[in-house]
Structure formats: C-alpha cells, structure tokens
Structure 1
Amino acid sequence: MSAWVTAAVQAVLVAAVAPLVIGLMRAVRARLEGRAGGRLAQPWRDLRKQLRKEPVIPADAGMFFTAAPVVLMATSVLVAGAAPYLSTAGPLPGVADLVVVVGLLLLGTVALALAGLDTGTAFGGMGASREMTIAALVEPTLLLAVFALSTRVGATDLGAIVAAGATDPARVFTPAGALAAAALAIATLAEAGRLPVDNPATHLELTMVHEAMVLEYAGRDLALVEWAASMRLTILLGLLANLFIPWGVASGAQPAALVLAAGVFVVKLAALGGLVAAGEVFVAKLRLFRVPELLAGSFVLGLLAVIASSVLA
C-alpha cells in the first residue's frame, strides 16, 4: 500500500511542478534576452483559464481528435507514477520497465499525431508527419541510451538502474555513461519539442511541429494537451536527472525520506530546466531537413554507449 501511495504522490508532484518548470524556463529565457517575462506561475493561470472554457471540436474531426488529449494525459500520469522519481520501490515494477515507459510515451505521441490527421487540415497533417519522422529516431535513441546503463545492472527496470547508480557510482560514471547521457539529452530535447529541434514559442508554418497538431484544440482539450506536454518534458528531465545524478532518491516509502527526495527532485528539475532554457537563448533552430541528422547522431551515440558498456562490463 505504501508503494501505491508513493506512486500517487509522484504523479501529483509531477503534474503540479510541470507547469512551473515551463514558467521557470520562460523566465530564464526572458531575463537572458533582456525582457521582463511572465511570472513563474503564469502557465498555471493559463491552464486554469482554459479549463473553464468549453472545447470546440471541428466538424470533420472524429474519435481520434476527441480521445487524444485523454490518452496523452493518461500515459503521462502513468509514467509519472511508475518511474523512480522519489523512490526506487514502485507498486508495479513491470510498468517502470524501460521498454514499457518508452512505449507509453510513444503511445501519447501517436495519439496526438492521429488527432492532427483526424482534423483533415493541412497544418495538422504536416505536423503529424513531422512528429512521426522525429519519433522514429527519438524512441530508439531513448531505448539505447538507458539500455547502456541496464547492461551493467543486469535489469531494464528503471528503479533498479537508479538504485544501482546510487549505491555504486562506478556503474554510471563511465565512458559509456557519458555517451548515454549525451544521447538521452538530445532525445529529450527532441521528444519535448525544444530547440534546436522545435521552437514552442512560434507558430510559423515552416518551423512548427507540435503546435501544428494542436491548432484545432481549444478549451479543456487544449489545457489537457498543454498540461500533458509540460508533464512529458518534466518526466524526461526527471529521468535524465535520476539516471545520471541518482543521489537523493529514497529506497523505501518512509515519509521523511520521500519529503527529502521530493525537495532534491525539484532542485534537479529547476537546474536542468534553467540549463535548457539558457542554452536555447544561444542556439538557433535547425532547418527541418537537418533535424534527422542531429537525431541520427544521437542514435549513434546511444549505440556506441551500448557497445562500450558491453565491452567494458
């Protein structure tokens, strides 16, 4: 029962902190660009306003358009509760498996891409096509990057990998670990739609990917899509932090340990979010036809990490 409570606390924490991470990143970018920027809680205010509005469904939209926000949010909540953010002891160890987590993230991506196609608009189809092209390279990279760590642990369970890294840092801080961290960082930026792969601050036809698929959403549906998108960014940043900076994660469900782990987790998210936002100020968006080259490079880094981990094991 305590493990289920921990999973629920994790899901609530990620859902509550995710919009604040977006607000922090926007604030950091604004300050570095010499602008005043919005407040830290502005994304929460936007979500509250959108949740009060009725959704508008296009006349040509079908069940995929209606179901996509719920599927996207459900998969995000499930991953947030199962992944080892506060404790390495989860209620369903099989759900925290590497393949299952990546599969759930891909399910949300496919649901949103189908929703973009379901509207029958040019923008939705364009965004869905670009999103699936990116996903075809990102998801294998996520698998390879974490699999490079799992080969030294002997398990693909994320909780076991984090626990092994916390007790034996030599399993993480290796040349293979450095390659895996680089591959996972690039895949995180691509999966979350951040620069240099996508620019969430623009609605230009030649550049947008995620925004093109959600242009037809409004009201509560748009709130769920944007909330889930911020949660997916937080989920990936949290995995990146705990897999390669595994300290501070509790090994059980003791209240004091969970409170400490929650504080450490928020600090890690703030540091990584600020670092990503600061990097976006000095990085230009790649041309669309250059994005596969970047993602192919990250895939090669993940493959080299697996080979190095197997050889040096």
Structure 2
Amino acid sequence: MTQLSPGTLAGLALQLALLILVAPYLVGVMRQVRARMEGRAGAGIGQPWRDLRKQLAKEPISPEGSSWIFTAAAPVLLASTLVIAAVAPFVSTKSPLDRVADLFAIVALLLLGTVALALAGLDTGTAFGGMGASREITIAALAEPTILLVGFAVSARVDSSNLAAIVERIQHSPAEVLSPASLLAAVALAVVVIAEAGRLPVDNPSTHLELTMIHEAMVLEYSGRDLAMVEFAAGLRLTVLLGLWANLFLPWGVATSASPLALGLGAVVFAVKVTVLAVGVAAAEVFMAKLRLFRVPELLAGSFLFGVLAVSSSFFLA
C-alpha cells in the first residue's frame, strides 16, 4: 500500500476535483459535437452545469406510493461512482487508496449503482419505470461478465487485479498494448463502455420517445436535487468509464510519483484523453441508429466473445 503523505493526499484530492469538474463539461462537449455535426448551434458545453445549478435549487418530489428505496437510490448511485473516481488510478498510481483499487471491486461498484437505479424505477410503480429497469438489468447482466473477462485478460500477465499495478506494468512494457490479448480486451471493453454509459447504438440519452428509453425511463419521476444527483452521477459514470478504458489501454501520462509536476501532467493528460474519446463517441453517434432492443444482446454477446478470446490469448500466447 502506498504510504500516506501530503503528496499522495494532494493527488487524491486533485483527482476527485478534476473528475467532478470535468464530468458535466464532458457531457456538454458530446452534446455540442453532435449539435454542430447535425447543423445546430447547440447550447454550449457549460449547459449541463447550468442545468445542475437550476435543479439543485428545486425541491425534490417523490411519486405517490414510493418508498425509501426511491429516495435512497440517487445518493447510492452518486456515492458508488464517487468511490470509483477516488480509488481508480486516473491521475496517479500513487494513492492512499490503491490497495482497494481492484478491477473486480470497480465492477461491483458499477453494478451497485445500476441495481440501485433499477430498484428505484421499479419502486415508482409506473410502466415506464419498470420497463426501463428490466432493460437496464438485462444489459448489466450481459455487460458485467465481459468486464470481468477483460479484467482477467489484462491482469493475467501482472498477476494482480490491482489497477495501479496494471497501469504501471503497461507503462513499463509498451509492447503489451499491441498484444492480441490487449487488442481483443480493448474492443470488448469499448462495447461495454458504450452500453454501460447508455450511448448509441445501445441507448439514446437524448430521446423523448418512452418506448425506446432505457436509462431515461428509470429517472422520469425524479426532480429537483434528486434529479441533479442522478444526472451528475450519469456524467461522472461516463467520465469514469472512458477514463478506465483510456488508462487500461493507453496509460501513458498517468503519474507514477506524487511530485507536483507529475500530478499536474497526469491531470492534463487525463482530461485530454477522455475529451478525445468523448468527441470520438459523439461523432460516431451522428452516423448511428439505435439498435432494436432484441439486437442489443447480440452486440453484447459479441463483446463477451472478444473477452473470452482475450483471456485465451493472455494465457496461450504469452
């Protein structure tokens, strides 16, 4: 475990502050890219922050007949995502929390947030909430095993599922990025990131057509501060997922020491990497149509197959 020091504490604080600041702007960048490519002016990259400020000033209202599950889901979703943002090596591998930065623990935290929001959708008793929850759990049941397989593939040569150890190993052995196991794992995780973040072609975050909603169907009944927590958690979750992909397969720039220069460089490089990935995803979405719901399992099954091949390659082509 990394020793507790002012440098490691500063790195942890910097990482949390960076992700909290970047997450809404990243959503704004993606919306703005899509707007420009579709010939619209767009609301600007700061619109998500303005929406959050407006929602935080409003009183939350719970639907009639709902229980504490509906109220607790938003804080649980936000808290689980914040824990991931704190423990994963996005800016630096030297953190006082690196002992718990385990890839399989990250998967469990992602699933915890998904289940909390799905239970909230069911708790409202509405048709759309139940429909969205059912679809979300179906996707999670297919996506989470793929993340576990990717974890096995990238940790096999490190003999550890600790994210900091994996990142440092790839930094010291750049050729491993081009190995069959890494390339297959990168493709598998990319599909899962799209599915978990609720992006096209799996889900459309800007849709207003209830019958095609997945994530949005579960949050229709939220308002005020609760809605602000859900929306912020969704943006932070997107940032975390893109950051995990970037740092597992393109880890250069991540600080391996607690010096101010290394931490500053790590923060800048991380912001650039997730922004480039977000722009690429948003640009690709312009040319995509949403898949029919019954085709989504086929896409996720393909990513699972890539995960299986990645694990096989990591052992047999070592």
TM-score, normalised via structure 2 length: 0.97
Per the alignment, residue 85 of structure 1 pairs with 90
Corresponding position: 1:126 with 2:131: yes
Contact persistence 1:152–1:171 (CA under 8 A): no
Corresponding position: 1:259 with 2:264: yes
Q: What pairs with 1:34-45 in structure 2 (closer than 5 Å)?
A: 34-45=39-50
Contact persistence 1:149–1:171 (CA under 8 A): no
C-alpha displacement of 1:228: 0.2
Cα distance in structure 2, aligned partners of 1:215 and 1:139: 25
Cα distance in structure 1, aligned partners of 2:110 and 2:8: 22
C-alpha displacement of 1:136: 0.2
Q: What pairs with 1:10-49 in structure 2 (closer than 5 Å)?
A: 10-49=15-54
Listed one character per residue, the Cα deviations across residues 245-268 of structure 1 (whole Å, up to 9, x for unaligned) are: 110010121111111110011110
Listed one character per residue, the Cα deviations across residues 49-76 of structure 1 (whole Å, up to 9, x for unaligned) are: 0011100111211111010110011011
Contact persistence 1:54–1:218 (CA under 8 A): yes
Contact persistence 2:28–2:47 (CA under 8 A): yes
- Match 1:224 to one of 217, 226, 229: 229
- Match 1:191 to one of 189, 196, 208: 196
Contact persistence 2:104–2:148 (CA under 8 A): yes
Per the alignment, residue 159 of structure 1 pairs with 164
Q: Secondary structure at the match of 1:125?
A: helix
- Match 1:51 to one of 56, 61, 74: 56
- Tell me the amino acid that sits aligned with residue 298 of structure 1: S
Q: Secondary structure at the match of 1:216?
A: coil
Cα distance in structure 1, aligned partners of 2:58 and 2:155: 45
Cα distance in structure 1, aligned partners of 2:148 and 2:106: 10
Corresponding position: 1:75 with 2:91: no
Contact persistence 1:57–1:217 (CA under 8 A): yes
Q: Secondary structure at the match of 2:99?
A: coil
| Count of residue pairs brought into register by the alignment | 313
Superposition CA RMSD, Å: 0.9
- Match 1:240 to one of 238, 245, 251: 245
Per the alignment, residue 61 of structure 1 pairs with 66
Corresponding position: 1:212 with 2:224: no
Contact persistence 1:73–1:228 (CA under 8 A): yes
- Tell me the amino acid that sits aligned with residue 106 of structure 1: L
Cα distance in structure 1, aligned partners of 2:278 and 2:133: 26
Extract structure 1 runs of 4+ deviating beyond 4 A: none
Which range is displaced more, 132-141 or 144-153? 144-153
C-alpha displacement of 1:5: 3.2
C-alpha displacement of 1:92: 2.2
Cα distance in structure 2, aligned partners of 1:46 and 1:230: 12
Structure 1, unmatched stretches of 5+, are none
Structure 2, unmatched stretches of 5+, are none
Contact persistence 2:204–2:290 (CA under 8 A): yes
Contact persistence 1:60–1:119 (CA under 8 A): yes
Contact persistence 1:180–1:301 (CA under 8 A): yes
C-alpha displacement of 1:176: 1.2
C-alpha displacement of 1:89: 1.8
Cα distance in structure 2, aligned partners of 1:287 and 1:300: 21
Corresponding position: 1:182 with 2:187: yes
- Tell me the amino acid that sits aligned with residue 291 of structure 2: L
- Tell me the amino acid that sits aligned with residue 27 of structure 1: Q
C-alpha displacement of 1:149: 1.0
Listed one character per residue, the Cα deviations across residues 94-153 of structure 1 (whole Å, up to 9, x for unaligned) are: 321011011001000000000001111111100000000000011111121232111011
- Match 1:5 to one of 3, 7, 10: 10
Cα distance in structure 2, aligned partners of 1:239 and 1:208: 26
